[in-house]
Copies of this chain bind each other. A is one copy, B any other.
Amino acid sequence: MIHPIPPGTRDVLPDEMRELRAISEALRSTFEQHGYGEVWTPTLEYEEVLRTGDESAAGSSYRLFDEGGALLALRSDMTIPIARLIASRYADTRPPIRLCYVAHAYRAVVRGSGQPREFLQAGIELVGAPPPDGDVEVVAVALAALEQAGLRRYRLGIGDGSLYRALLESFEVPAAERLPLLEALARRDLVGLEVRLQRLGLAPDAERLLARLATLRGGPEVLDQVDGPLSGAVENLRRCYELLAERGLADRVIIDLGLVRDLGYYTGAVFEVYDPAVGFALGGGGRYDDLLGRFGRSLPACGIAFDLQRVHVAQTEEERLG
């Protein structure tokens, strides 16, 4: 007799669970060693409160009415609940504030897409630390956590979530055209991106820069290939890279100017964690300097989260490849 479970959810049996526990303990203990205190927030929050953090995130969340008729939603990440928590429970705490979590998040997905609806995340939020030092600390802790979890091939891509948007604005690309371009970029759909760019009728230099930016990945030399309207973002990435190199982490870091995270709240550096053993990102994050202000305590902030399931697959693949 088969009793189905919803698509995008999983049963985890003891052999796998033991390995997931080991990974989550490795990440969590690394976070705590670096001064990040673990917190828990309710799985169910008022939908309106989550929407305060990000209008678009609320759209993909599971929603339900409680017994009193209030609209609740299952959290779709931990960053927005922690922003709420900081404004409510850390209103008078002197920054920086360092928090971490290991918790499930839930997202409504297109049926048949194979996307998970429930995923276990482990992550950190560093609140009240401006760039570049805040960005560098988050990256360094993330790399230490992956090392502690026993991964060996991991790399962290660093880009800037505001960079492409700033360029589109400076080239006066109509507002309605920007979102499809950013979505193509987030999907790494370079062909789609070029087709859309060609339609815009921009000056040849502008079109070339927008197309090329999406492919610029590598060491600090890629930063020499862009300037002009990007100088602020480029300067921050250069400083981050230098500071990470001073910590001996340069070989783990890839500068990736085409990196765009899909969440709406990133305002500066964005991160994505890769492992050549697998074809998907193990996690990501970035700087979100506007989010806490929406909850009433304006502070710069930066964070990163790992998908534990994916970290586990990468670990297994690394072992298989030897």
Report A213 CB to chain B, min CB distance, Å.
34
Inter-chain contacts of A88 with B (CB < 8 A): 1-3, 11
Of the candidates B1, B39, B44, B89, which one forms a contact with A296 in the assembled complex, judged by CB atoms under 8 Å apart?
B1
With the chains together, A40 CA to B312 CA distance in Å? 15
Report A226 CB to chain B, min CB distance, Å.
39
Is residue A38 contacting chain B, with contact meaning CB distance below 8 A?
yes
Interface string of A85-100 (1 = CB under 8 A from B): 1011100000000010
Most central of A12, A38, A42, A66 by chain B CB within 10 Å: A42
Inter-chain contacts of A42 with B (CB < 8 A): 5-6, 9-11, 118
Structural contact, B40 and A17, CB atoms closer than 8 A: yes
Is residue A64 contacting chain B, with contact meaning CB distance below 8 A?
yes
| Chain B residue nearest in CB terms to A18 | B38
Is residue A158 contacting chain B, with contact meaning CB distance below 8 A?
no
Report A286 CB to chain B, min CB distance, Å.
23
Of the candidates B21, B38, B46, B62, which one forms a contact with A38 in the assembled complex, judged by CB atoms under 8 Å apart?
B21
Interface residues of A in 226-256 (CB under 8 A from B): none
Is residue A43 contacting chain B, with contact meaning CB distance below 8 A?
yes
Q: Give the interface segment out of A67-75, A146-154, A299-307.
A: A67-75
Is residue A155 contacting chain B, with contact meaning CB distance below 8 A?
no
| Chain B residue nearest in CB terms to A37 | B14
Structural contact, A44 and B11, CB atoms closer than 8 A: no
Structural contact, A67 and B111, CB atoms closer than 8 A: yes
Of the candidates B49, B64, B84, which one forms a contact with A62 in the assembled complex, judged by CB atoms under 8 Å apart?
B64
Inter-chain contacts of A117 with B (CB < 8 A): 44, 66
Q: Give the interface segment out of A102-110, A171-179, A190-198.
A: A102-110
Is residue A162 contacting chain B, with contact meaning CB distance below 8 A?
no
| Chain B residue nearest in CB terms to A20 | B40
Chain A residues within CB distance 8 Å of chain B: 1-6, 9-15, 17-18, 20-21, 37-46, 49, 52, 62-64, 66-68, 70, 72, 74, 84-85, 87-89, 99, 104, 106, 108-111, 117-118, 295-297
A-B contact pairs, 10 of them (CB 8 A): A9-B42, A9-B44, A11-B41, A11-B42, A11-B88, A12-B39, A14-B37, A17-B40, A43-B43, A64-B64
Q: What 8 additional pairs, Cβ within 8 angstroms, besides A10-B40, A62-B66?
A: A1-B295, A3-B88, A5-B46, A9-B42, A11-B39, A17-B38, A44-B118, A66-B108
